[in-house]
């Protein structure tokens, strides 16, 4: 396997676990070749037992791997860079074919330029996966740093393909990609919550309203994708003259929902640029 020489995971939160679990479950990586590092002893013990891999609070062994997934909080990146520097020679020695050790960062707002400055001697990749990766329905945008070979690119694509669709993007597009796909689930969740609240106000029980809202969102997404419809086409399909949908859409337009969603995506993209 491409990561048979060892996979290090620095930060083993929900997203890192979502990426790692499919590899373990499918037998694409040997559990004994994974070295993970977390901040607390309690977390390390619990994750070791749950995943059957080596998890500790000491990051040295993780950073010595030729392929490292970096999934800490963005504000911790400079701290973990010191440990990475101390283990670079070990990682270089274990990298197959004389390649540079590979670092895959899923840190929001941390640019390739900054990664390459903090982790010299490693080929850096910036990846932006979204939360639906937790149910293998994710989207991941990837930008490549200097020195990432064609075979390494394929390895990275294989990793993220386990949890959804993978897209190669210029780094300048990662901020709007993040705003739409990573922040977007929160925006849609807010819409779903509000729709369910409306159904409750109209007389449905809460549990039924939530179930119907989830099914409506899932069915709408399936229809848009399955028939390759423009959203405006679907809107017109279900809007009859002077009907119930027309009345509801009028209220949404009056409240500025369309504009609010546009501005939400723009604000999220701008915040991502500020973090960088």
In CATH, what number is assigned to the domain containing residue 209?
1.10.3730.10
Q: 159 and 201 share a domain?
A: no
Residue 250's domain comprises 182-275
pLDDT category at 89 given cuts 50, 70, 90 is: confident
Q: 147 and 209 share a domain?
A: no
Q: Is 90 a residue whose pLDDT tops 90?
A: no
pLDDT digits (tens, 9 = 90+) for 147-159: 999 989 998 999 9
Give domain status of residue 177, yes or no.
Answer: no
Average pLDDT of span 184-188: 97
pLDDT digits (tens, 9 = 90+) for 101-159: 999 999 988 999 999 999 999 999 999 999 999 899 999 999 999 999 998 999 899 99
Provide the whole-model pTM: 0.91
Cα 73 to Cα 80: distance, rounded to the nearest angstrom:
10
Give domain status of residue 1, yes or no.
Answer: no
Helices 150-161 & 14-25, crossing angle to 10 degrees?
A: 100
Last residue of a domain, one of 170, 197, 212: 170
Last residue of a domain, one of 117, 143, 170: 170
Q: 129 and 222 share a domain?
A: no
- Pure H helices in the chain: 14-25, 41-51, 60-63, 77-86, 88-94, 112-118, 150-161, 174-177, 184-202, 206-226, 231-237, 244-255, 257-275
Give domain status of residue 74, yes or no.
Answer: yes
């Amino acid at each position: 396997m491409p990561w048979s020489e060892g996979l290090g995971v620095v930060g083993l939160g929900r997203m890192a676990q979502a990426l790692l679990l499919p590899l373990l479950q499918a037998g694409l990586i040997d559990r004994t070749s994974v070295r993970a590092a977390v901040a607390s002893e309690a977390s390390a013990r619990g994750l070791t037992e749950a995943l059957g891999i080596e998890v500790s609070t000491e990051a040295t062994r993780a950073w010595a791997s030729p392929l490292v997934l970096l999934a800490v909080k963005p504000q911790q990146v400079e701290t973990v860079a010191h440990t990475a520097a101390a283990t670079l020679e070990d990682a270089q020695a274990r990298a197959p074919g004389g390649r540079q050790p590979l670092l895959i960062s899923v840190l929001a707002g941390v640019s390739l330029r900054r990664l390459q400055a903090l982790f010299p001697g490693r080929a850096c990749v910036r990846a932006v996966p979204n939360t639906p990766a937790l149910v293998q329905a994710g989207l991941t945008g990837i930008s490549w740093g200097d020195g990432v070979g064609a075979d390494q690119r394929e390895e990275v694509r294989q990793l993220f393909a386990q949890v959804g669709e993978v897209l190669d993007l210029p780094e300048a597009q990662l901020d709007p990609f993040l705003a739409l796909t990573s922040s977007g689930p929160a925006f849609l969740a807010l819409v779903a919550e509000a729709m369910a609240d409306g159904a409750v106000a109209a007389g449905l029980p809460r549990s039924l309203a939530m179930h119907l809202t989830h099914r409506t969102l899932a069915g709408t997404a399936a229809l848009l994708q399955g028939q390759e419809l423009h959203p405006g086409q679907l809107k017109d399909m279900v809007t009859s003259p002077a009907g119930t949908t027309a009345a509801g859409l009028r209220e949404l337009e009056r409240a500025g929902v369309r504009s609010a969603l546009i501005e939400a995506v723009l604000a999220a993209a701008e915040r991502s640029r500020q973090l960088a």
